[in-house]
Structure 1
Amino acid sequence: MPKAYSYLRFSTPEQAEGDSYRRQMAAALDWCKRKGVELDDKLRFHDLGKSGYTGANFTEGALGRFVDAVQAGEIERGSYLLIESWDRFSRQNAMTSTARLFDLATAGITVVTVDDGQEYSQERLTGPDVSPMLLLVVKLSQAHLESARKSNNVGKAWADKRERARAGEHKLTKRAPEWLSLEDGRFIERADRVEIVRRVFRETIDGYGRRTIVHRLNEEGIPNFRAGENRKRKPTGWHASSVAKILTNRAVIGDFFPGTGSTRFRTYQKEAEPIRGYYPAILDEDTYWRAQAVIASRRRVTDDDGRVVQRGAAGRRGSGVSHLLTGLGRCSICHGPMHIINKGPLPRGGLYFECDTARRRAGCDNMNRWRVDEIERRLLKHLTYIDADAILRGEASHGEFEKVESVKARLADAEKRRKNRAAMLEAVEDMDPDSLARYRELVADVTALKAELAGAEKALAQTAADPGLKARLAEAVDLNRAMGEAEGEERTAIRVRLAEQLRQLVEMVDFHPELSIIAHLKPRADVPADQVPFTYDSGNWRLELSSDSEPHGIDPDIFPEEDPDAVRAANAFFLKRRLAKAGGAS
């Protein structure tokens, strides 16, 4: 037996809970009572926040599910669809709306507008009387034009607000980042929270991961930004997600991204370009972009074929940073990752590198194991270019290198926004002059950043020629000595910073069961050509970490670790020998 089905649509949760729901439902029940038709109470079709103007109530909402049920035969021919008025059914243009209605009518569904009692069936719409069709087109056109007018007015108002905000004349909303408050139209820093944000960025650059930062904040009893708010559920300390939101929020450097849509209904879309200086900056841009470069270096990156081009270093590490080569070990046989296994306490036990594929008996026969502390010791001994001074003091000794990394990150971001804007312009036939102007601004930004990057790399190369670079081997010796003398939190802090330095210097460490252990270094712009590290048998930017090898071929008889001057002399001796070798080869 055919039944009636009500379709209710609400723009806001308040309407769903208030008079709008009761009004629409009462009208449907009243019509059913007068017509003697049963209102189905099992299949209900209600939409909250689904736009009738864009057609979302059909494409992804309850009205679309009603159409699917009709086509599947779950709803019989001769049934009724009850709507309050045509603006609940659709606010799209009259042609699109009538096409949707005709599809339902052809399937045997009668659409009823209960506010005026009009019934639109196939028989009535195709009959000799054209007045129902004319009335239908007029009402659908009115609904569409009204929505278009409101949308246009609201859009113009917000566009005006955004332009005034870009000019620094207006604050778009009362909302502010959690380290700021809005008072009398001005953003005021909340000093305690600003210091927490700066700490999060500082520790990220030093090498601490999100989980470690969370543990430290919670262990120190530092309340999160939601503590003290009147909330149904009290916050339970810091979480990795809250730290991640801080690290990716460009409000810390003053940027605000206006947008359109609703965050409540997940339709909010940010504009491609931020409003610079909208918020007071609590960090300088170099610090922000250095943190982004550190975060990016920890991600696991694959190419289009699924091959790993950058091994991630993110994950749980524990409070003591158990080893320095997180995510860098690779088996030379199967090219799979090397995992760390714990064989118990020293001297018989310890931590060992082991091929994960071989451990699982999954097709690799590299069954060798290598002591983690031995590999770390050899690598530190070989790395003449490690910036130990920055590690020990927790600061950069070569600002030019960090400047290059910062500009690279900013350039990548600007290039991404330029491509997004270009895609938007290609998607529309009538180019908006403002959008076109913004695209040209982005092109200019990219060009300027490329020039800035070239200048920064030139300055970096000049700094690299400084004699201080040749003394880094002595600094590494100092670092090893400091590592041996430090205890507790001090030693942990040194290892965290050292691990971060290694991630920036080392691409991977290859473990071969018969040949050797090779550390593949990342080529760096701050190293002159005559100082590129190499292993005689393995080539440039590769270091052999076999037990019988010496750092870069330096004679052990002239490598007394207790005498920094002798170390510098040894390094100079080897550089001369390297240059002589290169000259002979040419």
Structure 2
Amino acid sequence: MQSPTKPLAYSYIRMSTDIQLKGDSLRRQQQSSKAYADQNGLELAEAFKLEDIGVSAFKGANVSSGALGQFLALIKAGEIARGSYLLVESLDRISRQQVLDSIPVFFDIIKSGINVVTLADKHLYRAGETNFADIMYSVMVLGRAYEESKTKSMRVGAAWENKRKNAGTRKLTKVCPAWLSLQENRTGFDLIPERAEVVRQIFQLADTGNGSFSIARRLNQTAIPTFTKSNGWHESYVTKILNSRAVLGEFQPHRYDDHGDRVPYGEPVADYFPKIIEDDQFHRVQASRRRRLVEGAGRKGPEYRNLFTKIAKCEYCGAPMRFVHKGRPPKGSQALKCTNAVRGLGCESISWRYSDFETSFLYFVKEIDLTATLKAAAERSERATVEQQITVIEEKIRQLTAKRERIFELLTEPGSSTAFIKGKLDECEAAIATEGAQITKLREQRSMADMLPTISADELRSLIASVQDMSAPDIFERRAAVANRLSILVTSLRIAADGRRPKMKGIRTFLESQELNPDERDRLIDHIEKTNKQSQRYNRSFNVMLADGVSRYVVVKSDDPTDIIAEVLVDRDGAISGSDRGMPIGWSDGWDNVFDEPVSV
């Protein structure tokens, strides 16, 4: 005869901190559960992990969002068989909340047909039974568990508060940033000069627009020693330094929340560490990094070299045009070249000298309104101090707002002083109001750029030269303004670095594949070649489509980027205007006849 199935036993293990894992608690509870199951004819559900590690029961997190809460949901759903056993070390593993909150949790388990066993005393609370002694004992145990946790919380809070008050004479903890060392008498910290200098260098690089990855790479390239045993600098560690308010001298106490996560606790302690970074630079860097997250990062050196990133495409194959940098002039060069050609994927390998293309584009695409764009950039440069002050204050207000939220959270802590918290909130609100008034004044100082009249060709050339003067102190602002304008204005930009020569290659290949008399074919090819040269079709050209529907097609002379062979403007209605080798283009011929034959023919 087959023996009946053994009742299932589920072992529930809860530890309020991960530190207990390093001791013997986890192994002890697991062995106790296994021993009880074996001794009492139960089958331990070892594959069913019912653990809340690092989760506190003081506020019921193990019930609201932990493994125990999921177990209770399975009981209610009927997926845990009635008559099963829940094995716990003691009742305080289930809950350490106030009695009015903890007793219902315990009773719900019993009423749902689940037996509860406390392994510490081998006591069995049978499902469905209302033993008066058991009820009274459970109330006393759970009530005592809450009082113990409450007392511990208050003692820890009082101890930390006392430490905070004495932070000026004795430091709270030996833990400190990697660029500091705790003095033997624990009354202060000493700077490690070479490390502090590296931190200052990191902030200086970030302040000039470098991201964490770029900074880490530069530190590795210059063989700067790391602060840890890491194999070189990592982006994540640079980010950690840039986000650390310890550079301002602040120490932020932390605690573990109900879910076991380490979170800030209370206000930062000011002037706790030696200060190595100025407030304005720190807030400026934070604002810049947050802006990069929204707008997108990318390597933008002090020259902001390529204005056409993600805009320019190859006319022949449609691949992006790559900025090829082969060193600085006079020996080096920069050019735009088809990505497929660079990768050897068959497209034309002819490149267009970058400065020449940039000059031609800015000179002939009048819609950019280079005058107003550069004037706005110049004004931004002149107002840089005001803008930086606004950025700094906005960052201060953001952090004050976050601080205010943390102060609100203190109201939920046991033993917190309402009067003390209200005073801190008042201080925070006053600081936010003061900074808000200051930022209003600064914003009033900013003036909008005035409209300028049209300028002459010589003045336009001068403006383009100013955009390309890499020695100018505000060159980044100027080129960033132009690049931003282009990203908004240009819908597509197609570049033919070798004019129509690739099309001639296609024609030659096609004719050679046809059954033609060789002499006639050669004469035909020579005639087309001669016509193309007379029509100057092998000169470089570009075709740009603007966001308002207007397009320009420009053929540039090889020896002068500000002189053209032909320029065609097509408005949003399809009307064509412009010039071809000095002669006006008609309104009705359309694209097919534009640049067809030399005017003299």
Pick the TM interval, shorter chain.
0.5 to 0.7
Identity of aligned pairs, percent?
30
Structure-to-structure mapping, 1:79-478, within 5 angstroms: 79-125=84-130, 129-165=131-167, 168-184=168-184, 185-227=187-229, 235-261=230-256, 265-271=260-266, 273-300=267-294, 312-315=295-298, 322-324=305-307, 341-342=320-321, 350=336, 382=371, 383-385=373-375, 399-418=385-404, 421=407, 432-454=418-440, 456=442
Amino acid at match of 2:97: Q
- Residues 343, 190 of structure 1: CA spacing in aligned structure 2 closer, same or farther, 3 A cutoff? closer
Amino acid at match of 1:509: I
Distance 2:154 2:334 in 1: 76
CA shift for structure 1 position 58? 2.3
Which among 65, 68, 72 is matched to residue 73 of structure 2? 68
Per-residue Cα deviation, 1:54-111 (whole angstroms, up to 9, x for no partner)? 2222233332333234344443211111112112222122232221122222221110
Distance 2:179 2:380 in 1: 29
CA shift for structure 1 position 246? 2.0
Per-residue Cα deviation, 1:121-167 (whole angstroms, up to 9, x for no partner)? 23422xxx5222112211111122112111221122112223433xx
Amino acid at match of 2:174: K
- Residues 217, 249 of structure 1: CA spacing in aligned structure 2 closer, same or farther, 3 A cutoff? same
Q: Work out whether residues 249 and 273 of structure 2, in 8 Å CA contact, stay in contact via their aligned partners in 1.
A: yes
Q: Work out whether residues 111 and 128 of structure 2, in 8 Å CA contact, stay in contact via their aligned partners in 1.
A: no
Query: Partner residue of 1:509?
Result: 488
Distance 2:96 2:63 in 1: 11
Amino acid at match of 1:4: A
Per-residue Cα deviation, 1:274-329 (whole angstroms, up to 9, x for no partner)? 332222211211212222333243332xxxxxxxxxxx1413569996524768x7
Distance 2:409 2:21 in 1: 37
Amino acid at match of 2:135: M
Per-residue Cα deviation, 1:174-226 (whole angstroms, up to 9, x for no partner)? 11122222223212222222222222222222222332222211111223322
- Residues 293, 68 of structure 1: CA spacing in aligned structure 2 closer, same or farther, 3 A cutoff? closer
- Residues 108, 507 of structure 1: CA spacing in aligned structure 2 closer, same or farther, 3 A cutoff? farther
Distance 2:319 2:291 in 1: 21
- Residues 319, 83 of structure 1: CA spacing in aligned structure 2 closer, same or farther, 3 A cutoff? same
Q: Work out whether residues 15 and 56 of structure 2, in 8 Å CA contact, stay in contact via their aligned partners in 1.
A: no
Q: Work out whether residues 404 and 456 of structure 1, in 8 Å CA contact, stay in contact via their aligned partners in 2.
A: yes
Distance 2:53 2:420 in 1: 33
Query: Partner residue of 2:20?
Result: 15
Amino acid at match of 1:411: I
- Residues 18, 294 of structure 1: CA spacing in aligned structure 2 closer, same or farther, 3 A cutoff? closer
Q: Work out whether residues 17 and 55 of structure 2, in 8 Å CA contact, stay in contact via their aligned partners in 1.
A: no
- Residues 147, 419 of structure 1: CA spacing in aligned structure 2 closer, same or farther, 3 A cutoff? closer
- Residues 416, 545 of structure 1: CA spacing in aligned structure 2 closer, same or farther, 3 A cutoff? farther
Distance 2:412 2:360 in 1: 57
CA shift for structure 1 position 512? 5.7
Distance 1:269 1:340 in 2: 49
Amino acid at match of 1:162: R
CA shift for structure 1 position 26? 3.8
Amino acid at match of 2:391: E
Q: Work out whether residues 387 and 475 of structure 1, in 8 Å CA contact, stay in contact via their aligned partners in 2.
A: no
Aligned residues: 452
Query: Partner residue of 2:506?
Result: none
Amino acid at match of 1:157: A
Largest Rg, 1 or 2: 2
Tell me the SS of whatever aligns to 2:13.
Answer: strand
TM-score (norm: length of structure 1): 0.64
Distance 1:426 1:153 in 2: 16
What 5-or-longer segments of structure 2 have no aligned partner? 313-317, 326-332, 340-355, 451-459, 494-549, 555-561, 563-601
Q: Work out whether residues 110 and 127 of structure 2, in 8 Å CA contact, stay in contact via their aligned partners in 1.
A: yes
Distance 1:179 1:39 in 2: 52
TM-score (norm: length of structure 2): 0.63
CA shift for structure 1 position 501? 7.1
Distance 2:214 2:163 in 1: 41
Distance 2:323 2:303 in 1: 16
- Residues 206, 501 of structure 1: CA spacing in aligned structure 2 closer, same or farther, 3 A cutoff? farther
- Residues 402, 123 of structure 1: CA spacing in aligned structure 2 closer, same or farther, 3 A cutoff? closer
Amino acid at match of 2:176: A
Distance 2:145 2:170 in 1: 33
Distance 2:369 2:214 in 1: 24
Distance 1:494 1:452 in 2: 27
Query: Partner residue of 1:361?
Result: none
Tell me the SS of whatever aligns to 2:20.
Answer: helix
Q: Work out whether residues 411 and 421 of structure 2, in 8 Å CA contact, stay in contact via their aligned partners in 1.
A: yes
Distance 2:176 2:461 in 1: 49
CA shift for structure 1 position 12? 4.0
CA shift for structure 1 position 440? 0.7
CA shift for structure 1 position 44? 3.6
Distance 2:209 2:92 in 1: 56
Per-residue Cα deviation, 1:242-301 (whole angstroms, up to 9, x for no partner)? 222222222222223223326993142343x4332222211211212222333243332x
Amino acid at match of 1:94: V
Distance 1:118 1:508 in 2: 74
What 5-or-longer segments of structure 1 have no aligned partner? 228-234, 301-311, 331-338, 354-369, 465-472, 515-543, 549-555, 557-586
